[in-house]
Amino acid sequence: AAFAEGEVGSVGDLPAADALALAAATPDARAIRYPGTTVTAVAFDLRSPKGPFADLRTRRALLAALDRETMIEDLLGGAGARADTLIPPSSWAYDAKSSPAVAYDRSAAVDDLKAAGWRRVQGAWIPPGAKKPLELTLLAPERTANPLTYEAARRVAASWTFLGLATTVQALPPAEFVEKLRAGDFSAAVIDVNMGLDPDPYPILASTQVREGGSNIAGYQNAALDAALVAARAPATITN
């Protein structure tokens, strides 16, 4: 408000959509984009090999059910990028060829769920081995603590519910939200991870970080990935 009234000459750290709207509405003002490296993502509890989200095809289906481009436009005023990998596009380590996109495609989502063993009964999805449809609670920080992530969670829940997976958002105060993540007391959660321009995904993906106090809150474990994460941390050899 002070900027719009000419009381201050600059303002920063605004939500992207608000900043762009303010620049457009204020004569002689311009928005300067300074890309961040925070990825907003859904983390699933993958500790059980027989859990509903253990199959890659299930997770890919739920990703394909999300219209992420529209979310970026609506929530960020277009000032964001779809995350096809944890490595931000602005980083030296980003490789588009190694990060194939999962397109928004509800038909493909349905096909993947069926291929993973899910059954659809009266429009609702029943996980493999279960007898009744899954009802999912999606954890998120409360709106006052993180309005962007909270709204992203609402969009995700709406998309999955439309697909046939009944999903409700449980918004929590920051301390309670973090405690549930650390304890593994969740099925799915919308989180923010600041990867940095020199990213090191080891803390959130390595099997050693599943133990209490580690940052691998999803509990994901993969021996081949562990080896790659360790190799990526090794000192580089500089040649002339």
Place of tokens 């919308």: 190
Q: How far is the C-alpha of 130 from the C-alpha of 200, rounded, in Å? A: 37
Residues 6+ away with beta carbon under 8 Å from 167: 135, 136, 137, 138, 156, 157, 158, 160, 161
Band of the pLDDT at 67, cuts 50, 70, 90? very high
Nearest-Å Rg of the Cα atoms of the chain is 20
DSSP string, 81-135: ---SSSS-TTSTT--GGGS------HHHHHHHHHHTT-EEETTEEE-TT-SS---
pLDDT for 17: 77
Per residue in 197-224, pLDDT tens?
A: 889 999 999 999 998 778 999 999 999 9
Q: What's the average model confidence in pLDDT over 136-156?
A: 97
Per residue in 163-175, pLDDT tens?
A: 999 999 999 999 9
pLDDT greater than 70 at residue 23: yes
Q: What is the mean pLDDT of the chain?
A: 92
Q: What's the average model confidence in pLDDT over 106-111?
A: 97
Reduced to 3 states (helix: H, G, I; strand: E, B; else coil), residue 189 is strand
Phi, psi of 113 (to 5 degrees): -60, -45
Nearest 10 degrees: CA dihedral of 175, 176, 181, 183?
110
pLDDT greater than 90 at residue 3: no
Residues 6+ away with beta carbon under 8 Å from 62: 42, 53, 109, 160, 163, 165
Place of tokens 């990213």: 199
**Please, are residues 189 and 167 in contact by the beta-carbon 8 Å criterion?**
no
pLDDT greater than 90 at residue 6: no
Nearest-5° angle of CA 198, CA 201, CA 205? 180
14-18, 27-31, 72-76, 176-180: segment of lowest average pLDDT: 14-18
* Percent of the chain surpassing pLDDT 70: 100
pTM listed for this prediction: 0.88
Q: Which two tokens stand for residue 233?
A: 């941390």
Strands (E), the chain: 38-44, 119-121, 124-126, 136-141, 167-172, 188-194
Q: What's the average model confidence in pLDDT over 135-159?
A: 97
